[in-house]
Structure 1
Amino acid sequence: MSRDLAAHGRRARAAIFDRLGDATPPVPKPAPALAPWYAAQAAAHTGTDRVARFVAAATAWHAQVVETTPTAWADAVADLVAEHGIRNPMAGPDTAIAAALDARLARTAARLHWYARDLETDKDLLFDTVDCGVTTARGGIAETGSLVLWPDAREPRTLSLVPPMHIAVLHADALVDTLHEAMTGQRWADALPTNALLVTGPSKTADIQRLLVYGAHGPKRLAIVLIRNDPS
């Protein structure tokens, strides 16, 4: 009996392998043509005000947007620091905003701290004292009101994640319409960091009893200092 079962099993396996061998190999499907779709999306935004759409979307997600000029952006940061009662902001050293930020906040009641590039060194200060992280933003997406952050050794992820408030300095010239445009135009595939971030409003969650809570997983306040080159 056992020999019959074993023989039956061998025949069944052989039949399966024979059918697999006789099967027509799968024909790879061509990749979908995405270029026409993305071209249509870009055409839909032609002539629209990208800045206005970004501001409207970001504000809808409860971000505070302050529009300013290349000569007044540091004043805008100082005004936000005063408005929100910030006493211990922190920023990354050797960035495009560091010198002007240092000079302007020196004339306020706040004490500007510099990230030391070592979390172990700054951990207690960052978690216990710093009440606002100030960073640059690589870009912004008008469709969703999202910031593109590109953390590095000078501006690590913790700087925009740990403090209860985040101020991001963004040039309006770095705004794009869609995520696809950001990824292709900035050539993300060439040099992705460990964390490429899309920040859409302050941190929020409704995991518990569907109650919306801000600040559960990051800053509960987000302010965007939007630098415009045009006088409007």
Structure 2
Amino acid sequence: MSAKANILAKLKKSLEGTTPIADNFDEALVTQPWRYPAEQRIARLRQLMEAVHSETHLTRQADWPALLERLLGERGIDRLLIAPTTTHGQQFSAHCRQAGSPLTLKAYDRPIEQWKRELFDEIPASLTGTLGGIAATGSLILWPTPEEPRLMSLVPPLHIALLKASEVHDNLYEAQQKLQWSAGMPTNALLVSGPSKTADIEQVLAYGAHGPKDLIVLILEDA
């Protein structure tokens, strides 16, 4: 018997003859104080995110690629990391071709060991989708996948995230229930409320210490 199996066997044996305590979890405690009328969810999420140095824009499904190209141009950014096999990656790639955009689109299509230096030193911005948002805390839900690994939203100095307005939930518990998190979670589900920041050094707030210095959220108002 392995050490792990031996420990589990002892734990199970210690429960023999005991009576489980009834679960007295009250769902209302984590939901009722954090519910908002549908027309207020987006406004609350934007208010909270912008209060911590995030930038948010309302746009539409057909319009966000042109908006993103303009925002990148205003910042002098000429390269963008995308996931070309995703729907939004394909949409933005098509827009750039049709518009004759000078942007260089880079794909996360290799193991990190093969292009670590390029990713860390030469990629100024990235575009990813989100699983949704949380109005109560002004947070994005990121769910890394093989198409969009965690490093896409962690390494480039500027992270652009797409969020569907219809996928903004009142609170975390509601999101967990609607998305059925209990049926399976990734090894790294993330809640992001703004760009990376720290005040560890001399209690001076600094952005970009452990991740992106800037976060832009494009909120899509239609399906």
TM-score by shorter chain over 0.5: yes
Contact 2:31-2:174 at 8 Å conserved across structures:
no
Q: Which runs of 5+ in 1 are unaligned?
A: 1-24
Match of 1:192 among 171, 176, 185: 185
Closer/same/farther in 2, CA of residues 73 and 47 from structure 1, 3 Å limit: closer
TM-score (norm 2): 0.85
1:110 aligns with 2:103: yes
Number of aligned residues: 205
Which residue of structure 2 aligns with residue 11 of structure 1?
Answer: none
**Partner of 1:70 in structure 2?**
61
2:22 alignment partner in structure 1: 30
Gaps of 5+ in 2: 1-16
Q: Tell me the percent identity.
A: 38
TM-score for the superposition, normalised by structure 1: 0.82
CA drift at 1:121: 2.4
Aligned CA RMSD, in angstroms, stands at 1.9
With over 3 angstroms needed to count, the CA separation of the structure-2 counterparts of 1:71 and 1:56, relative to structure 1, is same
Question: Which residue does 1:228 correspond to in 2?
Answer: 221
Paired position in structure 2 for 1:141: 134
* Maintained 8 Å contact 1:170/1:225: yes
Match of 2:162 in 1: 169
Aligned partner (choices 91, 101, 105) of residue 100 of structure 1: 91
The secondary structure found in structure 2 opposite 1:30 is coil
- Cα distance in 2 for partners of 1:39, 1:87 equals 43
The one-letter amino acid paired with 2:129 is T
* Deviation per residue, 1:27-49 (Å, 9 max, x gap): 6543223223245235x424651
Specify the SS of the correspondent of 1:101: helix
Q: How far does the alpha carbon of each residue in 1:63-82 deviate from its partner, in whole angstroms, 9 at most, with x for none?
A: 10011011101112112211
Larger gyration radius, structure 1 or structure 2:
1
SS at structure 2 position matched to 1:225: strand
- Conservation of the 8 A alpha-carbon contact between 2:133 and 2:139: yes
Maintained 8 Å contact 1:203/1:220: yes
Query: In the TM superposition, what are the counterparts of 1:180-219 in structure 2 within 5 Å?
Result: 180-219=173-212
Question: 1:187 and 1:179 mapped to 2: Cα distance?
Answer: 12
- For the residue of structure 1 that corresponds to 2:32, the secondary structure is helix
Moved more, 25-34 or 137-146: 25-34
Q: Which is worse superposed, 95-104 or 194-203?
A: 95-104
